[in-house]
Chain A
Amino acid sequence: MVDVNEEGFFEHPEQWTREIASQIAADDGIDELTPQHWQVIDFMRKEYFAKGTGPTVRVLGKTSGVTVKDLYLLFPKGPAKMAARIAGIPKPKGCI
């Protein structure tokens, strides 16, 4: 069992596994996670554990090695939120 909030974000990122990621992705309409998906997912987890929050789309585009355009192709429902859900980390913090 994993704990998620009402929007489907993990409350305890350490409960995440790669198998669970594939399941969440499938539920979200991504049938198969490609190496490029994994590149983004792994990057998001690394950033989260280093900085305490997941990166925004713009920062992902600058630092993950995948362009913002491609990020939207990989995660059509909005890369930051969708990839964060699949990567098992809390929702990236918004801005004011």
Chain B
Amino acid sequence: MTRNIVILGGGTGGTLTANRLRRHFDHDDVAITVIDQDDHHVYQPGLLFVPFGLAAPDEIIRPLQRQLHRHIEFIQADIDMVDVERDTVVLPGGREVHYDVLIVATGATLALDETEGLTGQGWMSNVFTFYDLAGAAGLHDALTEFQGGRIVVNVVDMPIKCPVAPLEFCFLADWYFTQRGIRDQVHITYATPLDAAFTKPIAAAALGDLLTEKGIELVTEFNTGSIVSTTDGPGALVGYDGREVPFDLAVVVPLHSGAAYVGRSPGLGDDLNFVPTNQATLQTMAHPNIFAIGDATNVPASKAGSVTHFEGEVLTENVIRFLEGRELDATYDGHANCFIETGFGKALLIDFNYATEPMEGHFPAAVGLPLLKESRLNHLGKLMFQSFYWHGLLPGRDIPLIGADMPTRGKHRPTTKTNHTTQQGATR
């Protein structure tokens, strides 16, 4: 009898998992269905480059279904809910899709209305986010017209996708205004709820130094309570503690939640609609036949494409084991790997997992890309990644030398003590 694997979300995780599973199973034995609300797929790391004119919106977007192998059914629909007890996904109009295995890959959504005033008068004229395509494109126009004044880049609260992206935005803004010859007219501030530039202490120190070097003001432990804005005049971020950060242009990374249907599906999600998931096996706590991947989960790893990619290998193996009635034992170690664009054609690279924070050295071995150091090579790596994303990662091919497990060859363990790993157990 044919069994059904249903995958909710055809973004990074949904697509690569569908393709990997399709290659493993004969299509007479296992039917694979992907459900997504959109018919296009956005290469989200490209959103960082759109505001600065370094990428055009149509260069980072492709038809969603074309990224799926043959013999994968695609349904375009906004998911209504999952009935965990009946192994059924409910779509608008009451259409039901039955599954033997369900994979939740619907990512994170932007909770714009959870921050007072964010979408107020100045929204899309001097208050923007670059976390979606419309915002990134609007910000490009606003930056082009910007002649000087105060820019604030603000993270409202964690967790967010790609936690380094707002820092990269600051570095690129410094480069952008330098190129235009008006850097001395622009004051750049980074306001974060964290007590340092980043979550992981060693990387936070390195990134903090870079902010100082580039003359970017760092405001820490800032919890945005509301945003006051007008259509054309200055505005301000107002912290819950009463502090204010004035701006002429605000670039805000809004609060993130899981998809709304998760909240409508009894037993599936947590208070923020993320799906409680075993951090090693990627099986959810909701039901043994429900798995989850990527930004949709609550695992204590960054919400990043690299995490999603490494999780994909483990998830595929465990779904196969589950359908064959074998015990799950593939384990994900929290491996993440990010290029951090630092402007002027350079980038940093960090590599870490649940237990080990980013450190210096080279990746993936002693001869390789420099870790935690600015280099031109890393910048090229970041640029080349888009091509690998469409042609290697989404189709589900393995990258030579780089597997799901974090490599330790080529890394320098710092002599200072780094027992911060308990900090990572994020379950929000």
- Pairing of A with B: yes
Contact of A96 among B200, B225, B271, B422 (CB under 8 A): B200
The reply to whether A94 and B199 form a contact with Cβ atoms under 8 Å apart is yes
The distance in angstroms between the C-alpha atoms of A56 and B255, with both chains bound, is: 13
A58 to B159, CA, bound (A): 11
> Which residues of chain A are within 8 angstroms of B426 by Cβ–Cβ distance?
93-96
Cα of A72 to Cα of B240 in the assembled complex, Å: 6
In contact, B428 and A59 (Cβ under 8 angstroms): yes
- CB atoms of B423 and A93 under 8 A apart: yes
The range of chain A's interface size is 10 to 19
Do residues A53 and B425 form an inter-chain contact, with CB atoms below 8 A? yes
Query: Restricting to B264-316, which residues have a CB under 8 Å from any CB of A?
Result: 271-272, 300-302
Q: A94 to B427, alpha carbons, bound, how many Å?
A: 8
Least CB distance from B397 to A in Å reads: 27
Majority secondary structure of chain B interface residues (helix, strand, loop or mixed): loop
Interfacial chain A residues near B302, Cβ < 8 Å: 96
Quote the shortest CB–CB distance from B418 to chain A (angstroms). 15
- What is the interface size of chain B, counting residues whose CB is below 8 A from a CB of the partner? 26
* Cβ-closest chain B residue relative to A90: B422
Bound Cα distance from A78 to B90, whole angstroms: 41
Bound Cα distance A58, B426 (Å): 14
Within 8 A of B (CB), among A48-73: 51-53, 55-59, 62-63, 68-69, 72
Q: With a CB–CB cut-off of 8 A, which chain A residues contact B300?
A: 93, 95-96
In the bound complex, what is the Cα–Cα distance between A95 and B155 (angstroms)?
A: 13
A57 and B159 in contact (CB under 8 A), knowing A96-B199, A96-B200? no
CB B205 to nearest CB in A, in angstroms, measures 16
Instruction: Give residues of chain B (105-141) contacting chain A, Cβ–Cβ below 8 Å.
Output: 114
- Is A29 interfacial (CB-CB < 8 Å)? no
Interchain residue pairs with CB less than 8 A apart (11): A58-B157, A59-B428, A69-B240, A72-B225, A78-B241, A93-B425, A93-B427, A94-B194, A95-B428, A96-B301, A96-B424
Q: Apart from A59-B428, A94-B423, A96-B159, list 4 A-B contacts with CB within 8 A.
A: A51-B427, A58-B255, A72-B241, A94-B424
